[in-house]
Amino acid sequence: MITRFPAPPPEAAPGAAPGLTRRRLLRNGTAAAGALLAAAPLSGCASSAAADNSALSVWDLFQGGDGMLMDDMIKAVSRGPRGFDVERTILDWGPSYYTKLAMSAAGGRASDVAIMHLSRLAGYAPGGLLDPFDLDLLAEFGVTRRDFLPGVWARTQHAGTVYAVPLDVHPFIVFYDEDIADKAGLLDSEGELAEMGSPEALLDAGRKLAEATGQKGILFGHVTDTAQNWRQFAALYAQTGASFTLPDGGPPQIDVDAAIRVVTFMQRLFDGRTNPNNLDYYGSIAGFTGGRGGMAMLGGWELRTLKQSKIRLGAARFPQVFEKPAVYADSHSFVLPHQKNPDPARRREAHRYIAAIVKQSLTWAAAGHIPAYQPVIAERRYAALDPQSSYADAAEVAVLDPPNWFAGAGSNFQNRMCQPLQSALLGNTSAEKAVRQMVREADTLLRQPNPVA
């Protein structure tokens, strides 16, 4: 889908007819993306703004509620005498999005701005598919590295050069029914979910929630899912303090004992009795919103869906049960896809646009995402958001995928990690065998050359 957000027209002369605002829509999804890419061969993919070079072309993958929020943000920055003229192209989320982004950048005629998960940066920046940011330009428009958490900002760089500006941090967290959690005695004096602090405490919480619901305790949908098991494992593994390092060429540097400890705990937590072990993603959401469980482990991006239920909804960062706090997360970030001969004026506008949008991220927080731009976090209006502000500190301990070209959101790496973990949770293999398979899968990927390097 392509949507045009025109800048305000020049003020009409006296007696002239008022200017008309245009809003042009095409069918969304793969068909629109395919039409864009079919317009030119791989060596010269056409920009989505080719038909109108005055508009700043922006690619993203936000549909549904997220898409409407992004519309609102773009409309906000398109108003006023210095408003932007934006042509937004929405492509389907998934591996196809990143394939199309790579193809357009390889031809050097990509969009002016695009969204990328920060976890995918390592697959694009080293191969020259992204252009670096001019930090002086960003600073001119009021955005500097000091406006972002150091851990998040560190992942925007390749070889010391910044290739991304984060819009958000979207963590893997827990949602809970406040009434059920209160009945189970799991809330602190301020009505928030109490800290767990140990594996046994989380296991006990599951039992108490199951008793309070009369059905199940903690719900987690993972069957046939290509990311969920990895998200949970990655959070818990990082909490042990062990490193999950994948050096080019291998072998993987993974603490096998720590990994087995984590998978063993996951098997105990989802025992198939207190907490079911056989739910798929949508089954866990349906069970939680239907009152058949007191807590659900999901991404913060499910907030809008869960708020439509009748639950008195609470949320908290993923519980710390091992030695150090850590929460699995990713970040929607702005990048500058490579262009062979970028126009300096348009590139300047791209910097100005990105700076303006990140300052609008209070709107974006409605979707459950944590704004990466810290001045927004500091606003009273953000502190008043419930339950978003309850897990804002998750961004401070965010753990992303290993910075490898094959890893990140929607990647085959996540899928290959999930398969042995699923087998372990379903009781089809031992924790040790699952971890050994994960190490083998990682080693196989490390021995494959980066196709764009």
Could you report the per-residue pLDDT of 360-409, keeping only the tens digit for each? 999 999 999 999 999 999 999 999 999 999 999 999 999 999 999 999 99
pLDDT at position 40 over 60? no
CATH architecture of the domain with residue range 2-12+22-167+331-383: 3-Layer(aba) Sandwich (3.40)
Are 408 and 212 within 8 A, CB to CB? no
More confident residue, 214 or 109: 214
Q: Is the pTM of this model over 0.85?
A: yes
The rounded mean pLDDT for the chain is 90
Peptide bond into 126 cis (omega under 30): no
Q: What is the pLDDT of residue 9?
A: 60
Reported confidence tier of residue 53, pLDDT bands at 50, 70, 90: low
CB 422, CB 221: distance < 8 Å = no
Statement: 170-330+411-446 belongs to CATH 3.40.50.10170: no
Least confident of 38-42, 350-354, 410-414: 38-42
pLDDT at 7: 74
pLDDT score recorded for residue 11: 46
354 within 8 A of 334, measured Cβ to Cβ: yes
Task: Please report which confidence band the pLDDT of residue 453 belongs to, taking 50, 70 and 90 as the band edges.
Answer: low
The residues near 343 (Cβ < 8 Å, ≥ 6 apart) are none
Q: Is the pLDDT confidence value at 296 over 70? A: yes
Establish whether the linkage from the previous residue to 319 is cis, with ω within 30° of 0: no
CB crowding 277-297: b at 16 or more within 10 Å, else e? bebebeebbebbbebbbbbbb
In this predicted structure, the answer to whether residue 126 has a pLDDT above a threshold of 80 is yes
Q: What is the pLDDT of residue 32?
A: 32
Same fold, 2-12+22-167+331-383 and 170-330+411-446: yes
What is the C-alpha separation between 348 and 235, in angstroms, rounded?
Answer: 38
pLDDT for residue 23 is more than 90: no
If you average pLDDT over residues 35-47, what whole number do you get? 32
Residue of higher predicted confidence among 91 and 36: 91
Residue 125, pLDDT score: 96
277, pLDDT greater than 80: yes
Q: Report the DSSP beta bridge partners of residue 56.
A: 86
Tell whether the model's pLDDT for residue 351 goes beyond 50: yes
SS3 103: helix
- Tallying the residues shown for the chain, one arrives at 453
- Is residue 274 within 8 A of residue 293, CB to CB? The reply is no
Tell me the percentage of the chain whose pLDDT exceeds 90: 85
Domain ranges of the chain: 2-12+22-167+331-383, 170-330+411-446
* Bigger pLDDT: 219 vs 20: 219
Across residues 86-92, what is the average pLDDT? 96
322-348 pLDDT, tens per residue? 999 999 999 999 999 999 999 999 999
Whether 242 and 255 have beta carbons less than 8 Å apart is answered as yes
Q: Which long-range contacts (CB under 8 A, 24 or more apart) does 266-271 make?
A: 266/232, 266/233, 266/236, 266/421, 266/424, 266/425, 267/424, 267/425, 267/427, 267/431, 268/199, 268/203, 269/199, 269/202, 269/203, 269/206, 269/218, 270/218, 270/220, 270/425
pLDDT band at 310 (very low <50, low <70, confident <90, very high): confident
